[in-house]
Amino acid sequence: NTSEYCSSIAISELSADVLRDLPTAQRFALDIGGSLSKIVYQSKRKWRKTFVVYDENTDSHLYSTQELEKEADCLHFIKFETRLLENCLDFIYDNLKGSDGRGLEILRNSPLRVTGGGAHKYRLAIEAKLGCVVEKEDEMTCLVRGCAFMLKHIPGELFSYEHDSSPPCCFADELSDGGEPFLLVNIGSGVSMLKVENETTFTRIGGTSLGGGTFWGLGSLLAGTSDFDELLEIASQGDHRNVDMLVGDIYGSESASSVHGLSADIIASSFGKASKADCKEFSKPDLLRSLLITVSNNIGQLAFLYASRHQLRRIVFAGFFIRGHLLTMRTLTYGVNFWSQGSVKAYFLRHEGYLGAIGAFVRGLEKDRRIGVLTGSWAENLCTSSSFDVGSWQGMAALELDKRKELTDFPLLRDRLDYAPDTWDLSQAAFQSARLNPPPSQDLSAREYWLNCFEASIDRHQQRAVLSQPDSPSAMERGEAFRLAYQNFFKEARANPVAFGQLTVRRILDVQEHCLRESGFPDPFWELKREENEVALGGLQSRLSHLASLPSADLPAALIRGLLGGNVFDWGAGRVAELLAERGKQFGLNEAMEQLQPRPWLVDDLDAWTSRLKAGVYTCAIVFVDNSGCDLLLGVLPFAIDLLDRGVKVILAANHGPALNDVTIFELRALIRRVGSFVPRVADALSSGRLLLAGTGSSSPCLDLRYVSVEVADACRQEQVDLVVIEGMGRAVHTNLYAKFSCDCLKLAVLKMPGWLTGWAAICSQ
C-alpha cells in the first residue's frame, strides 16, 4: 500500500531536526515542484549571547560579561519529496497548533505564498489543511528573486565546474553584485531559461521539455527503479561509450582525427549503438550514464544558444536535476564550453534547490509591505545546514540562515570584483594560489595540515567551552554536542572538501564558532579575555613610559615590534595556546618579543613603513585589531596613540561577535574608556573624535572585506581614511594577503610555526 508507505517515511523523516523551530515560526512560503518541494519559514530562535556590562556613571570602570538568552531571526529552508507534502502539512499544522495556536493565527493572518508547478494543483488541499489563504506566486519571478537573495547573502554560493581541478568545484563571486545580466537556467522536470537583468527584471527567453523529468522518466524505464538519486549513482558507474555512437565508431578510430577535425571521442549519436540488433545486453550503468550525458549536454547546448542569442556571457544553472551531481555539472559545463568555444561560462549554485521557495518568501514580504523583515544580512549557519554533498542527496535537506547586521563592501578596496578574501583554497588537492608560483612543495598537503591542526584543537576548545559555564548543569552535555558537530565537519570536509563551499582556514574557524554557538557556548573565552585585559591594563602605563623614553627615530620600529609581540598572544594558535597556558602570567609582552625571530622577519617592510610614517602623509587610519590583552592594549594601543600624536586620526575596528580571544567592540569600548581614565591623551582623543571605535560586523578571527558593517564603511568614507592597518594571522595572512586597497595598507602578523615565531610586516602602497 503506497500511501501507508509514504506516511511511514514521512513520520521518520519529518521528525528530523530541520523542523525543530516550527513552534516559533512567523511566516512560511512553499515551492511545490513536480518531484521535490521546499519550505521556507522564518522563526525567532533563542540564542545564548554574551553581553558586556558596565556602569557609565561609576569610576570603577570595570566591566563584566553576562550570558543571556536573546531571540534572533532565523530563516529555515527544507527540501522534501512532493509525495510527502500532505504529511508535511499535517506535521506543520500539529506543531503550530501545539504551540498555543499562535503560529496558526499568524499563518491565517496573511496569505501563504506558494510557488512551483504544484502551487496550482495543491492550492485547495493546502487551504483546507492549514486553514489559510494560498496565494500563488509566479515561479520564474520567485526563482530570480531567490537567486538574487542567495547570491547577495551567501558568499561562495556560486561555483564553476573545472574538470582539471580536484575537487572540480571552483567557487566564484562574480555575479553577487548584480552587474551584467546573466542567463538563469532552471532545470526542474522541464527547463526554463531566463535572462536576468537584476533581481526584479527578467525575461523568459527559452526552455526545453528535455529536463530532469526526462532523465528521471526514461531512466526509470531503462533501469527499473524510480529513485532519482539511485539513478544518478548508477549512472556514475557507467561508460556511455558502450551505448553512444562516437565519431570514432563511424569514421574508424584511426582516421577520426583527420575528419572534420573532430576527436574520435565526440558523441555522434546518443544511444546510437543501442539500435544494433546483435542481441547484446546493455548494462544499466552504461545506459543511465548515456542518458544523463544526453540530457545534460543538450541543456548545455541550448543554454549556450540562448545566452549567445541575448549576448549573455554567464549561465547559472539551477534546479533539482543538478543536485550537486558532478557528472551532470561536468556535462552541462562541457556542453557550454564546447559549443561556445569558451566564450560563455557555466556556473552552479550550492543551494540551487531553494531559489523558488525563498523567492516566494521575499515576494510575500514585498506584497505585505514587510520587506524590513529581511533588512540586514543573512549568514549560512554552518553547523545546522546540510553540507553540499556533491553527487548525492539523501531524503530531506536543510539550510539555515541567521540574521546578522547589515553588511556591505569595505569602501577602500581597490577593485571589489577582483577581491577574494581567502589566500589559500584548501578545497583543491593541489594547492592553488594564482599568485604564488610555483607553490612551495609542502603546500601540497596544505589541506591536511590545516584540517589536522584545527581538529587537534577540538578537545582544548571543548574543555574551555565547558569551563566557561561553570554554573550550567548542561554544559558537559553541550560540550559533547559541540565536539560531535565539529568532528562531523572534519569528517565531511575530508570526504568532500567542498561540502561547505570553498574550504579555507576562515571557513574552518567559522564552523568552529557556529558549532560553539549552536551548542550554547557563545563566548568560551570571555573570562580569559577579561583576565588578560586586566593584566595588560596593569602594564600599559609602564609600556607607554618606556616608549616615551626612546629616541623618536627608534619609535616606529619599537611600536611595530611591540605590536608583533602582542600578536603572539593568540589562543587560536595551538602551539601558542599551550605556551600561554603553561607559563600563564609569567609570559608578558617582553617575553613574547624575545620569542620573535630577529629582523629581518619573513616579510619585513619596516624601513619602508617608517619612512612613509615620517613623511606624514596620513589623515586617518583604520586599524583592524585582533586579540584581547597584551595584543590590543600593549601592542596596538601604543601604536594607535603614536598615530594620534602624529596628528593621524584613528579608527579602531573590532569584531561585533566573539571569536576565540579576539576583542569585541563591546569589550573594546569598555577597555578604552578605562584606559582613558588614566591616559589623558586617549580620553582627549576619544572625546574630540580623533579616536573612534567601530564594530566590524564580523564574528570571525578572519576578515572578509565584502561584508563589513555599515558603521565601518561610513566611518571610512566620512573620515577619509587613507591608511588601513590589518593585524593578525587570520585577518592579514589567511585572508587579505593579496587584498589591494585604494590607499596604503600595513599588514602585521606573527607567524606561529613549530619552534619559530617570525613577523610579517608588509606595507602595500596603493
**Per-residue exposure over 48-67, b if at least 16 CB sit within 10 Å of its own CB, e if not:** bbbebebeeeeeebebebeb
Region binding a second copy by CB under 8 A among candidate stretches 47-55, 117-125, 194-202, 568-576: 117-125
**Distance in angstroms (rounded) separating the CA atoms of residues 154 and 500:** 11
Q: Strand, helix or coil at 690?
A: coil
| Contact flag: residue 593 with a second copy (CB under 8 A) | no
Give least dist CB 390 to a second copy, A: 23
Query: Partners of 316 in the beta sheet?
Result: 184, 347
The verdict on 252 binding a second copy (CB under 8 A) reads yes
393 binds a second copy (CB under 8 A): no
Give kind and range of the element (H or E) at residue 348.
Answer: strand 345-349
Contact call for residue 244 and a second copy (CB under 8 A): yes
Chosen residue from 103, 118, 285, 566 binding a second copy by CB under 8 A: 118
Question: Contacts with a second copy in 4-63 (CB under 8 A)?
Answer: 34-35
- Residue 159 CA to residue 68 CA, distance in Å, equals 39
C-alpha cell at 483: 565536539
Report if residue 343 touches a second copy, rule: CB under 8 A.
no
Buried/exposed 728-761: b ≥16 CB within 10 Å, e otherwise:
bbbbbbbbbbbbebebbbbbbbbbbeeeebbbbb
Q: Give the nearest distance from C-beta 225 to a second copy in angstroms.
A: 9
Using CA atoms, how far apart are residues 140 and 124, in angstroms rounded to an integer?
A: 22
Nearer to a second copy, 192 or 661 (CB): 192
**The only residue of 40, 150, 170, 218 in contact with a second copy, by rule CB under 8 A:** 218
Judged by CB under 8 A, the residue of 297, 469, 502, 628 near a second copy is: 297
Binding string, 220-239, against a second copy, x = CB under 8 A? xxx---x-x-----------
Interatomic CA distance for residues 42 and 60, integer angstroms: 43
* Identity of the residue, 25 or 187, whose beta carbon is nearer to a second copy in the bound complex: 187
**In the complex, minimum distance from the CB of residue 189 to a second copy, in angstroms, rounded to a whole number:** 4
> Shortest Cβ distance from residue 255 to a second copy (Å)?
5
Q: Is 250 in the site for a second copy (CB under 8 A)?
A: yes
Taking Cα atoms as reference points, which of 648, 608, 613 lies closest to residue 761? 608
* Of residues 44 and 136, the one with the C-beta less far from a second copy: 136
Choosing from 4, 59, 277, 473, the residue that interacts with a second copy (CB under 8 A) is: 277
Phi then psi dihedrals of residue 138, to 5 deg? -60, 130
| Closer CB to a second copy, 262 or 547, in the complex | 262
Cell output for 315: 549561465
Q: Which CB, 267 or 632, lies closer to a second copy?
A: 267
Is residue 324 a contact point for a second copy (CB under 8 A)?
Answer: no
Determine if 371 is a binding residue for a second copy (CB under 8 A): no
Strand partners, 455: none
Q: Which of 644, 606, 626, 608 is nearest to 566 (CA)?
A: 626
- Pick the binder of a second copy from 76, 153, 273, 656 (CB under 8 A): 273
Of 302, 568, 620, 745, the one binding a second copy by CB under 8 A: 302
- Which residues, at least 6 apart from 345, have a Cβ–Cβ distance to it below 8 Å? 160, 313, 314, 315, 336
Contact predicate 338/266, CB 8 Å = no
Q: Running DSSP on this structure, what letter comes out for residue 662? A: B
Nearest to 194, CA basis, from 138, 240, 235, 152: 138
For residue 317, state whether it binds a second copy (rule: CB under 8 A).
no
Question: Measured from the CB atom, is 202 or 525 closer to a second copy?
Answer: 202
Q: Is 586 in the site for a second copy (CB under 8 A)?
A: no
- Bridge partners for 80 per DSSP: 37
Q: What's the DSSP call for residue 266?
A: S
Q: Which of 26, 99, 257, 269 binds a second copy (CB under 8 A)?
A: 269
The upper half-sphere exposure of residue 372, i.e. CA atoms within 13 Å in the direction of its Cβ, equals 2
State which of positions 151-210 bind a second copy (CB under 8 A): 188-190, 204, 206, 208-210
Query: Which residues contribute to the site for a second copy (CB under 8 A)?
Result: 2, 34-35, 117-118, 120-121, 138, 140, 188-190, 204, 206, 208-214, 216-222, 226, 228, 243-245, 250-252, 255-256, 259-260, 267-278, 282, 287, 294, 297-298, 301-302, 305-306, 308-309, 339
